[in-house]
Chains A and B, each alone.
Chain A
Amino acid sequence: MKIIKLLSILVAAVLATSACGGSSGELTIQDAWVRPARAGENGAAYFVITNGTTADDTLLSITSEIASATEVHMSMGDANGVMSMQMQESVTLTARDKVEFKPGGLHVMFVNLTRDLKVGDTIPLVLNFENAGSLTIDVPVKAP
């Protein structure tokens, strides 16, 4: 009987931890990186936003000091292999879900970089969310 009791406590403990494991209860930004580029060109940044909260949130804008403008775009391919980019006014972040910014998909576009982005540099980026407010992240420049 003692063993069964002990086991049930153990099972309960494991269940409790795994239930919490899925979300931190916060909105987090991970795996961020910027593609190397030169001043005067356009650049791109990528990351994964996890909305661990129980409410939907919206990415309203992104600001940086390294370009004339910082925009969010989506690269999309059609059935004929034609790729185009569409500017996104905002990005919806569903509660307890994540949105991946990745090459060939959703990405941050730096228009007219004011400086070179070299591998090893770190770029501060400010992401402005409707609920989570402004989050600043330091993003490394990496070769893909």
Chain B
Amino acid sequence: MIKKNQYFLLFIMTAVIALGVLVEVVFRRPYSFHGTVINPPLPVTDFTLQTANNEAFRLSDQKGKIVLLFFGYTSCPDVCPVTLATFKQVYDNLGEDSQKVRFVMITADPDRDTPDKVSEYVARFSPEFIGLSGNRSALEPIWKQLGVFVEKQDSGSAAGYLVSHTSSVYVLDPNGSLLMTFPYGTTEIDMANDLAQLLKQSKQ
């Protein structure tokens, strides 16, 4: 009987130690990002586009904030509203931290999307969101630099042409360098956690 009890005690002690090691490993492990990290961050050439009332939006004016860039178009009924709805959930999820992040949609369809149109479109998801358009000559270098693919597509739809576009979200760090991309379909929880972690790191 005594022997049996000793074995039991030994088992319990081993289990406790194993649990301790497990906790140590899990909690001390450095945070692993859900987005694709660009290392080292890629400096982005400053740009100016237009938002509501043709007001200028300059990237370098956002210094100190994380900037989330998404490329889409307002005639898009499916993918673009999905991403903006995710933005809204990320915004809510971040709480006070949301003030340190700019949520921006840049048009992939400047021929139909005026700055007012994009601004009004994103404002429906949150008045804090920024919608941008501009001349093709201003937009194309931005698309090119970030590797955003944009192509008009003759679809046979009554909507006229549709636009194929890269649907990733681009994360610029507080210095305006490309730090991370989120592929389409990244959940709001994963995005919010990554952003919270980035904000924590930028404080250190």
Contacts and interface: CB of A to CB of B under 8 A. Distances in A.
Interface string A66-105: 0011010101010011111111000000000000000110
A69 B158 contact: yes
A44 B78 contact: yes
B77 A80 contact: no
B166 interface: yes
Q: Is the interface of A mostly helix, strand, loop or mixed?
A: strand
Interface stretch (B42-50, B57-65, B79-87, B126-134): B79-87
A71 B157 contact: yes
A83 B77 contact: no
Given A35-B81, A42-B76, A107-B77, A81 B166 contact: yes
Interface residues of A, number: 31
B165 A82 contact: yes
A111 B74 CA distance: 12
Interface of B: 74-79, 81-82, 85, 121, 124, 149, 153, 155-159, 162, 164-168, 183-185
Q: Which 8 A-B pairs have the closest CB atoms?
A: A69-B158, A84-B164, A44-B77, A83-B167, A42-B77, A111-B158, A111-B159, A103-B82
